[in-house]
Amino acid sequence: MRKNVLISGGTGFVGRHLTQKLIANGYSVSILSRSKKTNTEDVFYYVWDVDKQIIDDAAIQKADYVIHLAGENIAEKPWTKKRKEAILSSRELSAQLIYKSLQRTNTTIEAFVSASAVGIYGAINGQAICTEEMKPANDFLGITCQKWEAAVQPFEKLGIRTVKIRTGLVLGKNEGLLKKLSPVFKFRLGSALGSGEQYMPWIHIADLTSIYLEAIKNPKMNGAYNAAITDDTTNELFSKTLAKVYGYSIWLPNVPSFLIQFALGEMSKLLLKGRRVSNAKLKDLGFQFVYTNLETTIKNCLSK
């Protein structure tokens, strides 16, 4: 009998690719959705409402593993006070809802795997390489990720193997970051942002979904892991590489920091600040990244 993986946030960018990966590797998938959807042979949908704290307990009872991806997109809208509250609460309340169902149904699962982000190290610039042992930052990005990870600690206390995937910028075919940048660069209007020196830890969607699969299969995986390529990709290098793939060299000056700050306010830190991260902890487990070259990765993502 196939093992079942329950995914929250399963209809998003990462969730869709992860669903395909799991099915291809012999798992059945259940997805928590805000609306009723038609089941297939491989995918079952269960309704939940995080705001109302409603969930179909049958989803939890069926699960062998839970992968928790749900949460408001941190880069979708400006960081107003209301938006910040939504970003934080969506991560905390969704985890709490799953935990309550687990307790209420007295269900045992083999592992709980939660998304997190390299933003836990804060919006910083500098040469220091961030490891999983580094102290979290106290800016909005750092606090958001801390609370995100804190929301899954109750699963650890139940003795469930709990894994936190601290993800970098995800690159995929016409999705994620590249979906936003491609129209500008395609028409030869791309340029670096601010100083261009801010680091951009990135990962191909195929490698990210492989990490989630590994987190399910490998009983040695426990705790936090940085899911990003360890290299020296700065915003300037990323921009130049993307332009190169489109067949030209950047001719426009960098977009001034003050213009980005004026347009985005505090959220401009997502674009103007960065951090380098180490993926040594994953590699020590024997995990091998397939996409490690930025130019090759971008070409793959932009190919039809």
55 part of a folded domain: yes
Q: Domain range holding 94?
A: 4-172+200-229
Distance CA 25, CA 221 (A): 18
239 part of a folded domain: no
This prediction has a pTM of: 0.95
236 part of a folded domain: no
How many alpha carbons lie under 13 Å from residue 59 in its C-beta half-sphere?
Answer: 25
In total, how many domains does the chain have?
Answer: 1
59 part of a folded domain: yes
Q: What CATH code is carried by the domain that includes residue 165?
A: 3.40.50.720
Tens of pLDDT, residues 29-69: 999 998 888 999 999 999 999 999 999 999 999 999 999 99
pLDDT band, residue 175 (cuts 50/70/90): confident
* pLDDT at residue 185 greater than cutoff 90: yes
Tens of pLDDT, residues 105-119: 999 999 999 999 999
% of the chain beyond a pLDDT of 90: 82
* pLDDT at residue 77 greater than cutoff 90: no
303 part of a folded domain: no
151 part of a folded domain: yes
150 part of a folded domain: yes
284 part of a folded domain: no
Tens of pLDDT, residues 123-164: 776 678 999 999 999 999 999 999 999 999 999 999 999 999
pLDDT number for residue 95: 95
